[in-house]
A and B are shown apart, each in its own frame.
Chain A
Amino acid sequence: MQRLYDSVEPRVMDEDMLKLAVGEQGPQEEAGQLARQEGILFKDVLSLRLDFQNILRIDSLWQFENLRKLQLDNNIIEKIEGLEHLVHLVWLDLSFNNIEAIEGLDTLVNLEDLSLFNNRISKIDSLDALVKLQVLSLGNNQIGNMMNIIYLRQFKDLRTLSLSGNPIAESEDYKMFIYAYLPDLVYLDFRRIDDHMKDLAGSKHQYGIDELKHREHLIQARLDDERARQEELKKHKVAFVEHLNGSFLFDSMYAEDVEGNKLASLPGVGELLQAYKDKFVIICLNIFEYGLKQQEKRKLELDTFNECIQEAIQENQEQGKRRIAKFEEKHLLSLNAIREESDLTNIEIKIVEYGEDITELFNVLMTLEMQLVEQLEETINMFERNITDLVALFIENVQSLMAQCRDLENHHHEKLLEISINTLERIVKGELDEDLPDDVRALFVDKDTIVNAVGASHDIHLLKIDNREDELVTRTNSWCTHLVDTIHKDEIMRNRRRVKEINQYIDHMQNELDNLECSDVID
C-alpha cells in the first residue's frame, strides 16, 4: 500500500493545525466552554491524534512536553524525527506511513506501545532505549532477515509482536523460530501463542537457543564483573585510598623511571628491589586499611548526625502541625460565629479577636522555628568540629605512613647508590665478571653519571609518593569542606522554606479574614 506523493498535497505540521486538533479533541460541553474561554496550553495535553492529515514531516511538537499518547497514523511521514522532547510518551502510532528506518526514538524511554505497521522498514534496530516496550507492531514491512528476531530478545517486557506481511513471515520456520527465541511472548500476529506449540518450538531449536543463551550468559557475567569492580573502586575512592591495596603505587613509581629499570639488572639490586617492594606494599596496605576504617567512622558519624537532625526536625514539625490543627478547629468556629453575628460592634470585636489569634499563631510558629534553628546550629557546629578533627587525624596518620614510604625510598636509594658505586669501581678495576647490557654499561662511565642516574630515579620515586599524598590530602579536605558547606546550605534552605511556608499560611488566613470584613461591610 503505497500512496502516491503526487496525488495528495503534503501538509505542514504548524501551530494552527495543532491548535485545531487540540481544540477538537479537548474537553467537551461545559468543560469545553471553559477550556475555550481560557485556552489550552500545549504542555497540558496528554493525548493527541493527527491521523489522515497528509503530514510529510513531524514538526512543532516540542511544546507537548507531557504528551502520553500520540497518533500519527495514515500520513506520508518518511522519517521519524522531532519526537525527542516527548519523553513521557507511552503510546506511539506511526502506522501507514512511508518510514524506511527505525530512528529518532532514543529518548522515549517510557514507550510501551509502538506501532510501525505498514511502512518500508527492512531492519529492526535502534530500539535499545525502549526498555519498557510491551507491544511492537511491525507488520506489512520489508523485514527479510530472521536474525532480526534475536535483536528483540533484549526486551524483557515484550508480550505482543506482529510481523505478518513481512518477507520473513513467508518462511516455513517463521512461527516456530519466534516461539523458540522469544519465549516470553504471549501474542504473535494477534493470536495467542499455544503453550504446547511453544514447547515444541523450544525443543526444535534447542541447540541454537542453548548456544545463544550461553553467549548471553557470558556477556552478562562479564558485565556483572565489571560492575562489581567499579563498585569496589568507588567505595575505595570514597575512602580516598583507591589503588593502595596492592603494588599499584610502587609499579607506577617505576613505570616512568628509565634509569631505575636499567639499574635493576645490576647484581644484587634484584633482591634489594624485591625486599623494598614487599615493605612498600605492606605500608600501602596499611594506609588502605586505615583509610577504609576511617571511612566507616566518618560514615557512622554522618549517619548519626543526620538521624538526630531528622528527628529534631520531625519533632518540631509535629509540634507545628499540632498548633495549626488546633488553630484550624478554632478558626472554623470563629468564622461561623462572625458570619452569624448580626450586631456590628460585636462583629468588629470578634474580628479583632480573630486577628489576634492569627498573630499569636504566627508568633508561636515562628518561635518554634527560631528555636529549632538555634538548636540545629549548635548541633551542626559540633558535628563540624568533630568531622574536621576526624579528617585531620586521618590526614596526619596517612602522612606519617607516607613518610615511612619516603624513608624506605631513601634507604633504598642509599643502598642502590652504594651498589652502583661498587659496581663502578669494579668496572674501573676490570673485576666485573657478569656481562651488563650496553645501555646499562653506558651509565658506568664515571661517578657523576651514575650518581645522577640513581638520583634521577630517586627523584621520580619521591615525586610519585608526594603526588599520591597530595592527592589524598586535597581530596579529603575538599570533601570535608564540601560536606560542611552542604549541611549549612541545606539548613539555611530549610529555614527559608519554613519561614516562607508560615508566612504564606498566615497571609492566607489574614486574607480570608479581610475578605470577610469586606463582604460584611458591603452587606
Chain B
Amino acid sequence: MGTIGKRVYEALFLMDTAMAAADWDGTLKVIETVLSRGEAEILSIRKWDERKLAYDIDGKGRGTYILVYFRMDTQKVTVVERAIWLSEKIMRVMILRTDRMTQADMDRPTPIVLAETMPAGVDGVPAGIAPSAPSAPMAPMAPAAPSPN
C-alpha cells in the first residue's frame, strides 16, 4: 500500500446555530468524535463565524462555522467523510489538503475575530452584501423554518 503517511487538513464544519449556542462544548464534541474515527490529531479548533447562510439548508437560515486543522493518515479520510455523512448534526463540511496553503493562509483571522476587533460599521461580514440581499424576498418562505430558532 502506498504509505503517504500523514497530512495536515483543513476542515470547515457548518453546524446548527441553535445547537452551537445552546451547547458549545457538545458541538465541538460532535466534531471531535467524527475526527477521532480517523485518529486525527487536532491542531486547532475554533469558531470561524456565525452568519446568515446564502441559501437555506435543512430549513435553517443561519449557521455556525467551525474551522479545524488536523493531522491525519491520508488513508483515513474516507472513513471520516463517511462518519460525517452519517451525522445529522453536521450540515455541511469542506475538507481540504493544506499543501498549497501558506502558514499565513491558515493563521488568517476569522471574520468573527475581525468583527470583534473592528468598530461595528466596517466589518466585512455584512459587506458581503450579496447573500443578505435576497433575504427580503425570501422572507415569506421563512415561516416554515424559524421554529428551530
**A-B complex is real:** no
Write the residues of chain B forming the contact surface with A, with a CB cutoff of 8 angstroms: none
Write the residues of chain A forming the contact surface with B, with a CB cutoff of 8 angstroms: none
